[in-house]
Amino acid sequence: MKKALLLFVAVLGLSINATAQTTWKVDPMHSFLNFSVKHLGISFVDGRMDKYDGTLVLTKEDITTGKFNFTVNVNSIDTDVEARDNHLKSADFFEASKYGTMTFVSTSIKKEGKNYKMTGNLTIKGVTKPVTFDLVYGGKAANDGYGNEKLGFQAKTTIDRTAFNINYDPTGMGIAKDVELVINLEFGK
């Protein structure tokens, strides 16, 4: 009887451990949400979003089980030109007074060669569309010098801003429709 009870406890412990999830929180000191959009068809304007919050939940540190969940404060947009930043916050673009945040929630992560494809739902201006990112897993640091574990990623995609009702210059002649997103993320346990 004792053996059966010990076996049951051991199996229960293994099954709990096999599905153990770990939540990682984005480290804003070591993460960057950047964008780039073509201007007049000849150059690029780069910018970033400086205020955001996000988590990553993993099962057994398997990247394909990952669930990313991010919220970005649209009012934190910064292109180093105040007049342009104010215009981007206006109804012509993000309409930040009404839609103060944009969100991303992943729905799947699949291994592709050495890297991954991450698909999820991106919501901007109340419009939700599926988006796929090229995801590079940078690795894990067991100790960041302060005793903390860290994970690193880079995610890249290109979105059509007009699909999210950002319709200023709908022809794309002055400001391109396609916006490249390059997101470098570091997470702490």
- DSSP letters of 9-63? HHHHHHHHHHT-EEEEEE-GGG-EEEEEEEETTTEEEEEEE--EEEEEEEETTEE
**What is the structure's pLDDT at 173?**
92
Report DSSP state, residue 164. G
**Beta strands 115-124; 62-73: pairing state:** unpaired
**What is the structure's pLDDT at 27?**
95
**What is the structure's pLDDT at 143?**
86
**What is the structure's pLDDT at 11?**
43
Q: Which three-class secondary structure state does DSSP give residue 175?
A: strand
Residue spans of the domains in the chain: they are: 21-188
**What is the structure's pLDDT at 19?**
67
The amino acid that residue 188 corresponds to is G
**What is the structure's pLDDT at 47?**
98
CATH architecture of 21-188: Beta Barrel (2.40)
**What is the structure's pLDDT at 144?**
86
**Which region, left, alpha or beta, applies to residue 167 given φ > 0 means left and ψ of -120 to 50 means alpha?**
alpha
**What is the structure's pLDDT at 117?**
98
pLDDT tens, N- to C-terminus, the chain (189 residues): 555 444 444 444 444 445 689 999 999 999 999 999 999 999 999 999 999 999 999 998 899 999 999 999 999 999 999 999 999 999 999 999 999 999 999 999 999 999 999 999 999 999 999 999 999 999 999 988 888 899 999 999 999 999 999 999 998 999 999 999 999 999 998
